[in-house]
Amino acid sequence: MIEIIPAIDIIEGRCVRLSEGDYERKTSYDAQPLDMAKAYEQAGVRRLHLVDLDGAKAAGPQNLATLEQIATRTNLEIEFGGGIKSTDALQAVFDYGATYAIAGSVAARQPELFDLWLEAYGPSKMILGADLKDGKVAINGWKEAVDMTIDDIIARFAAVTQIICTDISKDGMLQGPAFELYKDLQERYGSIDFTVSGGISSMSDIERLNEEGLRKVIVGKAIYENRITLKDIERWLQNA
């Protein structure tokens, strides 16, 4: 069964969602990150996707206090991304309680540094963030595209076992994910756990991804917009 991983995206300590990665198309929600995390844990969720959107545009993580709060007050495994652009930032993310660290910009721009991180922390702790815009990898809060496809970046990092791949054109749009993209990737790279990210609009999307052999899926806006409820997630996890 595919694992559902709820997303909490943060700007200035608040839960938000963007549309197609556009900071100007931001929806803020009243829910507090810790309250959301506790609700997910109560529903049976084991892993949380926590994104520091301030950090993604800055030189380093900006919402470590929120990470620490969730890490110390829940038992969730936390995959944290946003602003991890130096070894000091990476270590801080782990020190503040992250179980996994997501790196995209460094992998694309400083591959030798990402190699060192994979060696030092192990591929079980490091997740490659491969976010795609018009087929090319996008970095720095999705503001900059590099001349590299997802196949290029997979070929560069043979040690990687976990990849979160976001189709930016789908993200926050609630129109369904890029099914064929993820099915193709998972079939061609069976040793890698791909996490589907972007566009999930209903439980039927998750059911189809499960049928097509995907292993993990991130769900964000669909939860906030009540298209997927905590009860839906609880039922799914109970059947897993």
Residue 32 exposure: Cα atoms within 13 Å on the Cβ side: 6
Q: Is 88 a catalytic residue?
A: no
CA dihedral 85, 135, 78, 103 (to 10 degrees): -20
Tell me if residue 131 is catalytic. yes
Give the C-alpha distances (Å, rounded to integers) separating 237 from 43, 44, 57, 194, 206: 8, 7, 34, 19, 12
Closest CA to 197 of 213, 177, 180: 177
**CA separation for the pair 77, 172 (Å, rounded):** 23
What CA–CA distance (Å, rounded) separates 67 from 127?
Answer: 17
- Name residue 72's amino acid: T
Q: Exactly one of 9, 52, 54, 167 is catalytic; which is it?
A: 9
Kindly report the backbone phi and psi dihedral angles of residue 68, in degrees, each rounded to the nearest multiple of 5, phi listed first.
-65, -40
Which residue out of 52, 131, 171, 232 is catalytically annotated? 131
* Tokens encoding 157: 């990092």
Residue 207 DSSP symbol: H
Kindly list the distances between the CA atom of residue 76 and the CA atoms of 39, 42, 48, 72, 236, in Å, as whole numbers in the listed order.
Answer: 11, 10, 7, 9, 18
Using CB atoms within 10 Å of the CB of residue 90, give its burial: 0 to 12 exposed, 13 to 18 middle, 19+ buried.
buried
Catalytic residues: 9, 131
